[in-house]
């Protein structure tokens, strides 16, 4: 049996990201989004507030990332330092 892909509204993606980063108290998260994310079993209650389930983490990893975030934290600064030392890469 294959699982249907989960399609989230833009606001639900934002809420999923906020839960993933763990910096938003539940009272600041959209109630409707949290109800749906819990219903989809992407979010559960943790000891310090809402947290992602394994499915939620997997879905979070598929969401579009900000430019420069693909290579991990600090890579943007490392790239700037590399350019300062060696110059820009050829296209």
Render pLDDT for 61-72 as a digit per residue (tens, 0 to 9): 988 877 655 555
pLDDT digit string, tens, across residues 75-85: 667 777 777 88
Q: Give the count of beta carbons closer than 10 Å to the beta carbon of residue 60.
A: 16
pLDDT of residue 74: 62
Distance CA 69, CA 7 (A): 23
d(CA 41, CA 90): 46
pLDDT computed for residue 23 by the predictor: 84
Spans of all domains in the chain: 10-86
The residue with greater pLDDT, 74 or 28, is: 28
CA distance 79 to 77: 5
Work out the end-to-end distance of the chain between its first and last CA atoms, rounded to an integer number of angstroms. Answer: 45
pLDDT at position 78 = 73
Q: Token pair 């049996």 is at which residue?
A: 1
| Alpha-carbon gap, residue 39 to 36, rounded angstroms | 5
pLDDT band at 40 (very low <50, low <70, confident <90, very high): very high
The predicted model scores a pTM of: 0.70
Domain 10-86 class, CATH top level: mainly alpha
- pLDDT confidence of residue 72: 55
């Amino acid at each position: 049996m294959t699982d249907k892909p989960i399609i989230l509204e833009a606001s639900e993606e934002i809420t999923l990201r906020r839960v993933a980063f763990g910096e938003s108290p539940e009272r600041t998260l959209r109630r409707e989004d949290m109800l749906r994310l819990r219903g989809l079993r992407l979010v559960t209650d943790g000891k310090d507030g809402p947290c992602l389930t394994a499915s939620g983490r997997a879905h979070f990893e598929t969401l579009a990332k900000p430019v420069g975030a693909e290579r991990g934290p600090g890579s943007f600064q490392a790239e700037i330092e590399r350019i300062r030392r060696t110059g820009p890469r050829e296209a």
